[in-house]
Structure 1
Amino acid sequence: METSSSEDLMSWFEEIATNAGKIQMETLKKILEMNHGVEYLEKWLGDIEDIDKIDGEALRSIYVSLVPLASHADLEPYIRKIADGDTSPILTKQPITTLSLSSGTTEGRQKYVPFTSHSSKTTLQIFKLAAANRSRVYPTREGGKILEFIYGSKQFKTKGGLVAGTATTHYFASQEFKIKQQQTKSFTCSPLEVIFSGDYKQSTYCHFLLGLFYSPQVEFITSTFAYGIVQSLSLFEDYWREICDDLFNGTLSPKITLLNIRRSVLDVIKPNPCLATLIRSQCEELERCNWYCLIPKLWPNAKYVYSIMTGSMQPYLEKLRHYTGDKLPLVSAEYGSTESWVGVNMDPCNAPENVTFTVVPTFAYFEFIPLHKVCDKVAVVVGGGGCDDYLEDDPVPLSKVKMGQQYEIVLTTFTGLYRYRLGDVVEVAGFYQATPKLKFLCRRKLILTINIDKNTENDLQLAVQKGSKPLLKSQAELVDFTSHANTSNQPGHYMVYWEIKGKVSEHILATCCNEMDAAFVDHGYVVSRKTNSIGPLELCIVEHGTFKKIMEHFIGNGATMSQFKTPRCTTNQVLLKILNLSTTKRFLSTAYE
């Protein structure tokens, strides 16, 4: 699918990557020229005049010396004023008419982030850039289709009348997305009515029906997060018989009750007895082998599976590889957040565990806080373990980052975020021309802490990974997990909830519990366990479908399948009630006895 436009896009990227330092200066100057005099910047830069006449490096020096680093909490009062209807230039001079909601599953609550036409344009731009680069490694056919498990959620109005919703929903509703759907030669199987149904089960059923109807034309399978693909494929294990009936007859199951979906799907599908018979035969065979190799069997011309697969998505890679039979590459999607896009995957043939993201220097102005691990009161370069116990140096610009050093990312965006601490810890793994290639390590935020212990999401994932290895002896698999730092009794202790597929003996589960407890290597945790300042880790086995209930709780409260991430640690009393009522077995670690 190489076109002159994709070649032009790659040439453009080569140029900005080669001149990344200069482009960054231009980007910062453009942001400050556009927004000089807004309420937030007036506090810090009010005495600075004629910004357009100040040299780029001099302007950067003034900016970083006068404007402080900020967290979301620092900007939240300004964003709240915008949400409540204040139309004065608070964060940007461009009107902010839309607010994005973060998923709320990482930090426990949703937060507003400004969303502008620039947000949609950069989203489309990074998607086009990534597609042009992927096509060099995995060429796709002209006229092919994409099976996308994507879901829009309801948008709503804030007190001040602004449209609010998830960033993915804003993009799917944007003119940029609609134009892409109309103009792109390889486009999604599902119409907008399916994407915006508001009922993820009905949408998923139709995604599959249309995806199989177009099966020979599907070039790749994608979703925003790896979780979305795994969750959808698990639903397919329940739906496939009805889907085959619909393919055979050109009908749509009565379970699809939304009229706009019914009309849009029935306008497309036609009876195809030959295809339906073939797929039914394949599904019967796949069911007997636990759906191993499902994707290449049902979509024989698919080139790869594409999704965000880093961070909290890594636990789903094993299941994805089961569904692909290791016959299709897993390609990690681009690095971004609700606040801004950061980088593009320029090495799509790399396994997700080794993926790096090349910073796009036009998307925002980037700074990097050098991080050094605190170890026995000595600062050393971070070497793993917890991601919050750091000493920091002063932020450096993109042009000054060093190979092998770890950093926290700071953003200044066109949408009104100034020196905003993103909270992501990355390592510079190399360079593409003059722009850095980042390896995502973890979120800096602690999720498990009781005493002097400091464990992040990454630490928990590593412990669960090591602790779950004994499950292989029973040919069982870990479906999903979360945790809770229980301080209701003294000493407090970690509770880790597992949902398991397959039968496992209590002896093996007790072994898993001990292995997981011993796998937390944070010094504060180890010392606290040895002195009984933290009690034995508790492994709670929950019944089948528990994490689906958790997902449905979040979706019912405004999240969307496209942005849902299982919370790896929770204090939410509703979720804890679901987890504890669903717990069927409990084990206490004896690892430190």
Structure 2
Amino acid sequence: MEASSSEDMIIWFEEVAKNAGKVQMEILKKILEINHGVEYLEKWFGDIDVHKMDAEALQSLYTSMVPLASHADLEPYIQRIADGETSPLLTKQPITTLSLSSGTTEGRQKYVPFTSHSSKTTLQMFKLAAAYRSRVYPTKEGGKILEFIYGSKQFKTKGGLSAGTATTHYFASQEFKLKQQQTKSFTCSPEQVITSGDYKQSTYCHFLLGLFYSPDVEFITSTFAYCIVQALTLFEEYWIDLCNDLSQGTLSPRITLPGIRRSVLDLIKPNTHLATWVRAKCEELEGSDWYGLIPKLWPNCKYVYSIMTGSMQPYMEKLKHYAGDHLPLVSADYGSTESWIGVNMDPSCAPQNVTFTVVPAFSYFEFIPLHRQHHKPCDAVVAGGGGDDYLEDDPVPLSKVKIGQQYEIVLTTFTGLYRYRLGDVVEVSGFYKGTPKLNFLCRRKLILTVNIDKNTEQDLQLAVQKGSQPLIKSRAELVDFTSHANIVNQPGHYVVYWEIKGVVNEDVLDQCCKEMDAAFVDHGYVVSRKTNSIGPLELCIVERGTFKKIMEYFIGNGATMSQFKTPRCTTNQVLLKILNLYTIKRFRSTAYQ
């Protein structure tokens, strides 16, 4: 991106942020005008001519007449579109592509409409985010980006629509090709490597080209922090072959896809000096458990850029290990398969403290005020169910949110989602001009509940973080984790699965189990454990590589590395079978004895 266009993006955003309330009303009016007459809206709007209404009156009418919706409410319409129905059900704009949400790791595919508007806003968000990053970390003309990005194989629905992940659609779009042409820094890997559908072969080639262009790499990025950690773990296995390929200008026999081989061999040539340098660095790094791998091999890399909030937080320590002491980690922006939401205006901010400034021009946003309940022992929910731990008030528009209040986000989009409950819980930390700045807290869905206990993903992550502290003294690390609420036998109990790197004494793991159990502070859980209506927590240690098998299972079923997230809690029987098959040790807590 040219410097002038970076400044143009910031000037544009300053203007929409200053007039956020007015922009939001105009966005809603535009969405309703474009999609006037679609079947979903007809039942409430009927003969009302939205074109003749002013934006403020239309906003009031819309939020009073159209109900809040979950994905289940819109799913019948999306399924009809997937089956080939062409009448305007959700949008007037033809929907020819459906995205699979990254929240599909429970094994059920969730379709979300994807249109050219989706690609355009993605490109716009990338340009805006790059403009703010370039102010703090300027990059040189003609530099390279080492991107661990992956497209998955698209498939056709019954009605002939293309379906796949949102990232896959974006990488195949004209907007992505335009980004590659217009930005001043270029992705190291050609399209064939990005879209191969084989993440191991793609990762190997990402590394080979990233090393080939090593002096020119300005920053390293991927959609999720997990992808970078997973790739760098593979590097520890690949480095000898990579050095050989760099030296000889060849490509390892492990790369079997003809398209990838051609595209990579067209770019590389023998470089014995570079190969010798890389080999020496790797031999040195191998002796220090690969600490500081990134700056050692990419000395001009200015930062690492990825989504590092929410379910990505557990990978931060490993990413810091690979980044070393001084290489900045920059949190990427806030979005979902359904819509982009907020930009990180302060790339120098530590990822754990990042806030996202809402971009009011992308969708129409509403916010449901949430109040966390404090449970009494007499409270009850269905055992093993997915109840909720919040009381809520009526939704408010973007301009009416309050600092310090927690909210669930509601979206109305150009792609046919109307008052759609996203399920994300955020807290308003402040305002930039007229638009709010958000802290992402967690997904609203409860993931662990047996009795009257109600624990979110955030509660689980905090408990695991506290419970895993004894590992540090053993010079071991927690690689990954998930959980399950086991209610087959009474009393039900939590099962937490850990994969560990390093050798740990059983007494230490027993201590970890006890401390993790005690770290769940939800009142319902504490009371239930004390009265034995929830049994002792069970910690299962799985073999090394188990979570890699889980990732490969999901990728084999249509997920992509660019959107894969380890499920933090699961009821998926295939996944539980994998976890239990590879469990090598089990511990039961004595925290409440």
How do residues 9-408 of structure 1 correspond to structure 2 at under 5 angstroms? 9-49=9-49, 51-105=50-104, 107-375=106-374, 388-408=388-408
The secondary structure found in structure 2 opposite 1:455 is coil
The secondary structure found in structure 2 opposite 1:80 is helix
2:383 alignment partner in structure 1: none
What amino acid sits opposite 1:435 in the alignment?
T
Q: Is the 8 A contact 1:286 1:292 kept in 2?
A: yes
Distance across 2 between alignment mates of 1:106 and 1:242:
33
2:505 alignment partner in structure 1: 505
Residues 199 and 376 of structure 1: is their aligned pair in 2 closer, same or farther, counting only changes over 3 Å? closer
Residues 470 and 514 of structure 1: is their aligned pair in 2 closer, same or farther, counting only changes over 3 Å? same
Q: Is the 8 A contact 2:106 2:571 kept in 1?
A: no
1:556 alignment partner in structure 2: 556
Distance across 2 between alignment mates of 1:154 and 1:466:
39
Q: Is the 8 A contact 1:455 1:522 kept in 2?
A: yes
What amino acid sits opposite 2:122 in the alignment?
T
1:383 alignment partner in structure 2: none
Q: Is the 8 A contact 1:388 1:456 kept in 2?
A: no
Q: Deviations for 1:49-87, whole angstroms, at most 9, x for unmatched residues?
A: 2x1221111111100110000000000001001000110
Q: 1:2 Cα deviation (Å)?
A: 5.6
Distance across 2 between alignment mates of 1:389 and 1:257:
50
Distance across 2 between alignment mates of 1:374 and 1:356:
25
Moved more, 304-313 or 367-376: 367-376
Q: 1:459 Cα deviation (Å)?
A: 0.8
Q: 1:373 Cα deviation (Å)?
A: 1.7
Distance across 2 between alignment mates of 1:147 and 1:583:
36
2:433 alignment partner in structure 1: 433
Q: Deviations for 1:291-315, whole angstroms, at most 9, x for unmatched residues?
A: 0000000000000000010000000
Q: Is the 8 A contact 1:369 1:410 kept in 2?
A: yes
Q: 1:246 Cα deviation (Å)?
A: 0.4
Distance across 2 between alignment mates of 1:455 and 1:183:
46
What amino acid sits opposite 1:396 in the alignment?
V
Distance across 2 between alignment mates of 1:506 and 1:177:
50
Distance across 1 between alignment mates of 2:482 and 2:3:
45
What is the root-mean-square deviation of aligned Cα atoms in Å? Answer: 1.2
Q: 1:36 Cα deviation (Å)?
A: 1.2
Q: 1:106 Cα deviation (Å)?
A: 5.1
The secondary structure found in structure 2 opposite 1:442 is strand
Matched, 1:486 2:492: no
The secondary structure found in structure 1 opposite 2:552 is helix
What amino acid sits opposite 2:403 in the alignment?
M
Distance across 1 between alignment mates of 2:148 and 2:328:
18
Distance across 2 between alignment mates of 1:355 and 1:2:
27
Q: 1:363 Cα deviation (Å)?
A: 0.3
Q: 1:375 Cα deviation (Å)?
A: 2.1
Q: Deviations for 1:14-55, whole angstroms, at most 9, x for unmatched residues?
A: 000000000001000000001111000001111312x12211
Matched, 1:537 2:537: yes
Q: 1:393 Cα deviation (Å)?
A: 0.8
Distance across 2 between alignment mates of 1:359 and 1:196:
31
- The gaps in structure 1 that reach 5 residues or longer are 378-385
Q: Deviations for 1:256-300, whole angstroms, at most 9, x for unmatched residues?
A: 111110000000001111111011000000000000000000000
Q: Deviations for 1:493-533, whole angstroms, at most 9, x for unmatched residues?
A: 11000000000000000000000000001111111111111
Q: Is the 8 A contact 1:485 1:493 kept in 2?
A: yes
Q: Is the 8 A contact 1:424 1:442 kept in 2?
A: yes
What amino acid sits opposite 2:483 in the alignment?
S
Identity %: 83
Q: 1:107 Cα deviation (Å)?
A: 4.9
The secondary structure found in structure 2 opposite 1:205 is helix
- The gaps in structure 2 that reach 5 residues or longer are 377-385
Q: Is the 8 A contact 2:104 2:110 kept in 1?
A: no
1:380 alignment partner in structure 2: none
Distance across 1 between alignment mates of 2:325 and 2:90:
48
Q: Is the 8 A contact 1:476 1:504 kept in 2?
A: yes
Q: Is the 8 A contact 2:123 2:175 kept in 1?
A: yes
Runs of 4+ in 1 over 6 A off after TM superposition: none
The secondary structure found in structure 2 opposite 1:289 is coil
Distance across 1 between alignment mates of 2:419 and 2:226:
31
Q: 1:108 Cα deviation (Å)?
A: 4.4
Distance across 1 between alignment mates of 2:222 and 2:48:
46
Q: 1:183 Cα deviation (Å)?
A: 2.8
Q: Deviations for 1:407-430, whole angstroms, at most 9, x for unmatched residues?
A: 000000000000000000000011
Distance across 1 between alignment mates of 2:214 and 2:547:
30
What amino acid sits opposite 2:528 in the alignment?
S
How many pairs were matched up? 584
TM-score (ref. length: structure 2): 0.97
Q: 1:388 Cα deviation (Å)?
A: 3.6
Distance across 1 between alignment mates of 2:375 and 2:182:
59
Distance across 1 between alignment mates of 2:196 and 2:478:
31
Q: Deviations for 1:519-549, whole angstroms, at most 9, x for unmatched residues?
A: 0011111111111111000000001000000
Distance across 2 between alignment mates of 1:34 and 1:79:
18
Distance across 1 between alignment mates of 2:532 and 2:188:
56
